[in-house]
């Protein structure tokens, strides 16, 4: 059986124990505060990012993994006898996928498959875990690629946001919508649609946000045989209730904390669910 390495980037927001359990290689995105540069998940996490913003640091920007870093990573594992499945955040949100493709082309090898996950944060995390499970079943890299591409349209997400300032600063919500939302207590509900974050609805208050998430889970239907991730971004209002509901439904879920890439735009007090539909 081939030795296969699964590679992703830090926008997958996978918890450390999952990364270690499946021996996943995670390439960090870069986070810039003015001239200061940090590696997402290595020397900066979401809590540190929020603290710097609160202390008055410039609003951060994130940067893709460049082709050189992919080249170095790929060469290391190819030289060790691995074949590689490399899954990355949506090409509509970042140039990371294109960087991976450039690196593969420069190495001129068929022992690497690069997949546009068309997802971000825990949606990408689910695909990465599924790729690991397929590897354990003995599938080769082309078979894993085919299964992941088939699964991508089935990855569903529902996310509720409490604080709108970061969405506005990151260009994900208009200033007018942000001001009105903050005044009226309106919570936007977002999901990943066609490889991009999209506002799918707006509700007033945390209770209605929780209700919306639960109803969407019921309406869509969850494949309980596949990974399910509960994503938290320093949320306190509904996260515990959401956990209780998942436990009542006997849904085996992974808890994950948002990283700096998505957290830059989400801000605090956001949470949501990612799963594969039936």
pLDDT value for 205: 83
CA dist 278 and 200 (Å) reads: 21
Helix, strand and coil content of the chain, in percent to the nearest 5, comes to 45, 25, 30
From 86, 89, 90, 111, select the one nearest 100 (Cα to Cα): 86
pLDDT value for 169: 60
Regions in the chain scoring below 70 on pLDDT: 163-185
pLDDT value for 153: 97
**Do 173 and 188 touch, CB atoms closer than 8 A?**
yes
CA dist 161 and 232 (Å) reads: 11
Question: Is CATH 3.40.50.10170 the right assignment for the domain spanning 4-152?
Answer: yes
Partners of 37 in the beta sheet?
32
Instruction: Write out pLDDT tens, residues 192-228.
Output: 988 988 888 889 888 899 999 999 999 999 999 999 9
In the chain, where the domains are located:
4-152, 154-276
The arrangement of secondary structure in 154-276, i.e. its CATH architecture, is: 2-Layer Sandwich (3.30)
Question: What is the side-by-side strand order in the sheet with 36-39?
Answer: 36-39, 30-33, 61-63
pLDDT value for 235: 79
From 196, 209, 165, 199, select the one nearest 183 (Cα to Cα): 165
Mention every residue, 6+ apart, whose C-beta is less than 8 A from residue 176.
none
Q: pTM above the 0.75 mark?
A: yes
């Amino acid at each position: 059986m081939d030795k296969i390495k699964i590679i992703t980037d830090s926008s997958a927001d996978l918890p450390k124990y999952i990364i270690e359990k499946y021996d996943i290689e995670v390439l960090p995105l870069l986070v810039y505060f003015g001239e200061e540069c940090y590696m997402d998940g290595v020397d900066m996490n979401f809590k540190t990012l929020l603290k710097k913003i609160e202390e008055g640091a410039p609003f951060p920007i994130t940067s893709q993994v460049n082709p050189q870093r992919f080249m170095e990573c790929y060469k290391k594992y190819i030289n060790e006898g691995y074949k590689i499945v490399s899954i990355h955040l949506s090409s509509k949100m970042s140039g990371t996928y294109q960087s991976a493709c450039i690196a593969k082309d420069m190495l001129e090898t068929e022992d690497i498959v690069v997949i546009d996950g068309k997802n971000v944060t825990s949606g990408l995390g689910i695909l990465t875990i599924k790729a690991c499970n397929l590897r354990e079943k003995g599938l080769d890299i082309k078979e894993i690629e085919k299964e992941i591409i088939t699964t991508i349209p089935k990855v569903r997400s529902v996310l509720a946001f409490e604080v709108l300032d970061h969405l506005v600063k990151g260009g994900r919500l208009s200033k007018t919508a942000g001001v009105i939302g903050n005044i009226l207590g309106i919570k936007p509900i977002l999901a990943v649609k066609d490889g991009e974050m999209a506002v799918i609805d707006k509700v007033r208050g945390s209770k209605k946000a929780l209700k919306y998430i639960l109803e969407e889970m019921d309406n869509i239907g969850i494949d309980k045989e596949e990974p399910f991730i509960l994503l938290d971004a320093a949320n306190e209002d509904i996260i515990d209730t959401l956990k209780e509901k998942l436990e009542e439904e006997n849904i085996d879920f992974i808890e994950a904390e948002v990283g700096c890439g998505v957290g830059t735009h989400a801000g605090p007090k956001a949470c949501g669910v990612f799963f594969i539909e039936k």
